[in-house]
Amino acid sequence: MKSDGLTSDLSRWIEGIIKSFINESPENSLGYETGEKAWAEPLIGFSAGDDPLYQFYKSDIGDFYWTPLEIFMKTFLSTKATADQLAVISWILPQTEATKADNRRQIKYPSERWARTRVQGEEVNNKLRRYVVSALREKGVKAVAPMLSPSWKQKESEHYGFASTWSERHVAYASGLGTFGLCDGLITSKGKAMRCGSVVATINIQPTLRPYSNYHAYCLHFSEGTCGMCIRRCPAGAISKVGHDKIKCRNYVHNVVGEFVKRNYSLKSYGCGLCQTRVPCESKIPSQEDCE
């Protein structure tokens, strides 16, 4: 990948359209009459389509997992491309202060704002995916948002249990935006209370530097042998010193949380996010002082 003026102009342009969509568009809405925003100022990173990490993910997670080239070729059947002609655009959509403040107070179920970010908020994320794809296509660039592909599916990984053909958090890790915590959330410079998205495109762009050398670098449990506050925060007992029990988590969020959210907020939404709030890594990369 080249590091010339053209690629930095392109990365600035892409960052600009993503930020202006989130900061200025009325589409970024939680669905309240006040027009309250679903997401705060985003983070953006880039990775190369031929980054060896993508091949590693496939061998580690399962053969069903797509490399950027695979999802590109599934989308543009008659186009010849090579992995080095592609780049992946990744973004982090941090939860707003209002949403985090509400969820910090919760001990068993998500707040209404948090539940809305999983429905209305994820719809904003989908609109952003479509917007980035169409803005690139208007410039003659072929682009696809893998999560919107009709071929995207949930799968079962031999090593990791519940998995899928494309993981936004793994893309964000590859794109220099954060590392995984004990609870499997991605800890970014704006914390772990967020959702993420990505687009694969035929662009030549400088990858974002990964300022870490292992996938748990920002989690205090792994770096310092301390913290573990997400273990205490989880109402389902799904987090322990050995990690995140996806089966316990899924049972809780689908059965207990799903029912509560339907009854109290009239929403079809899962995910409690308690392990993402009122923890040292909620809104930043934590340091030891944050859990003393």
Q: In whole angstroms, give the CA distance from residue 42 to residue 22.
A: 7
How many Å from the N-terminal Cα to the C-terminal Cα in the chain? 44
Q: Show the binding pattern over residues 164-203: x = contacts ligand SF4 (CB under 6 A), - = does not.
A: -----------------xxx--------------------
Q: Which residues of 239-248 are buried (b: 16+ CB within 10 A; e: fewer)?
A: beeeebbeee
Between the alpha carbon of residue 171 and those of residues 197, 248, 272, the distances in Å are 8, 25, 23
Q: What are phi and psi of 134, to 5 degrees?
A: -70, -35
9 touches 17 (CB < 8 A): no
Shorter beta-carbon distance to ligand SF4: residue 70 or 184: 184
Amino acid at 192: K
Which residues, numbered 222-261, are part of the site for ligand SF4 (CB under 6 A)? Answer: 227-230, 233-234, 236, 238-239, 244, 249, 252-253
Closest to 66 (Cα-Cα) out of 159, 145, 181: 145
Q: CB of residue 235 vs ligand SF4: minimum separation in angstroms?
A: 6
21 touches 27 (CB < 8 A): yes
Q: CB of residue 229 vs ligand SF4: minimum separation in angstroms?
A: 4
| Dihedral sign for Cα atoms in the order 241, 245, 246, 249 | negative
Tokens 């797509």, residue located: 66
- Residue 285 is a binding residue for ligand SF4 (CB under 6 A): no
The CB-nearest residue to ligand SF4 is 181
Binder to ligand SF4 among 193, 272, 278, 283 (CB under 6 A)? Answer: 272
Shorter beta-carbon distance to ligand SF4: residue 70 or 282: 282
Closest to 92 (Cα-Cα) out of 284, 292, 286, 290: 284
- Residue 136 is a binding residue for ligand SF4 (CB under 6 A): no
Binder to ligand SF4 among 144, 171, 199, 274 (CB under 6 A)? Answer: 274
- Residue 89 is a binding residue for ligand SF4 (CB under 6 A): no
Greatest pairwise CA separation for the chain in angstroms: 57
Q: CB of residue 47 vs ligand SF4: minimum separation in angstroms?
A: 23
Q: Which stretch binds ligand SF4 (CB under 6 A): 5-13, 20-28, 64-72, 277-285?
A: 277-285
Q: CB of residue 281 vs ligand SF4: minimum separation in angstroms?
A: 3
Shorter beta-carbon distance to ligand SF4: residue 91 or 252: 252
Give the SS3 label for residue 167. Answer: coil
- Residue 133 is a binding residue for ligand SF4 (CB under 6 A): no
Shorter beta-carbon distance to ligand SF4: residue 17 or 256: 256
Interface positions with ligand SF4 (CB under 6 A): 181-183, 219-221, 227-230, 233-234, 236, 238-239, 244, 249, 252-253, 271-272, 274-275, 279-281, 286
